[in-house]
Amino acid sequence: MGLTVNTIKTEVVCQWSADIPSTPPAFTAAGEQLSVVPSFRYLGSILSEDNTIDNEVQNRIKQASAAFGRLRRRVFQNKNLHLRTKVCVYQAICITTLLYSCEAWVTYSRHIRALEQFHIRCLQRILGITWRDRVPHSEVLSKTNCRSIEATITQHQLRWLGHVVRMPSNRLPRRRSAGGQKKRYKDQLKTALKKCKVRPEALEDVAADQVLQNCSTDPTEDWDVTHDVEAL
């Protein structure tokens, strides 16, 4: 095909399942052995050999924190800007950076907790308050009219799921995390559907009609989900 592989820049990540030994095989190109690494960046995301998103979540927080820092003095601490403007900039730049590719994430409570902590900390700085003010997180979300990170991730995943369901069968993407009793992407979606009270057997009809209402837009409500979040 005329493709020349740069063996210096090419790396290999071996993602193991529970029943495969952890000794990495040797990969060669043009007679040279390629280096095997525990993780590397691909299309803006970090792929790890343990099939988790731990490194990816930390990287997303780091990237979003850098974006927030660049705008902190000019936007978020600017007293001439309305709170709504600051929140819109935060949502458009920091949240999109923080949750990049979250549609395909398989999250555990530790991931949600780390993302929520960063989210609340940023909103507190926008509001000009600290933890010493003892303002509840629900009130912080209410004042800024923002959703929790868990609600936002669920919204994005359901929207992506509806898009996938409407695809022709020959284009249906499939994804499964390998390894023993690890949480699968399918399990993640089932949890999201349960939160939004959508029966799995009715999913195709709901996605085809695009009538699924999103989870609560009122951030003060418990994330049991009873109301509207955008359609699949």
Residue 23 neighbours by CB distance under 10 Å: 7
Tens-digit pLDDT profile for residues 21-30: 567 778 888 7
Considering the entire predicted model, what is its pTM? 0.71
pLDDT band of residue 9 (cuts 50, 70, 90) is: confident
Tens-digit pLDDT profile for residues 150-209: 999 988 988 888 887 777 777 656 444 444 456 677 777 777 777 777 777 777 677 666
Please answer whether residues 40 and 62 qualify as being in contact, where contact means their C-beta atoms are separated by less than 8 angstroms: no
d(CA 146, CA 94) in angstroms, rounded, equals 13
Tens-digit pLDDT profile for residues 103-142: 888 888 999 999 999 999 999 999 999 888 999 999 999 9
Name the residue type at position 26.
A
Please answer whether residues 190 and 157 qualify as being in contact, where contact means their C-beta atoms are separated by less than 8 angstroms: no
**What CA dihedral angle connects 21, 27, 33 and 37, to 10 degrees?**
-60
Q: How many helices (H) and strands (E) does the chain have?
A: 8, 6
pLDDT band of residue 51 (cuts 50, 70, 90) is: confident
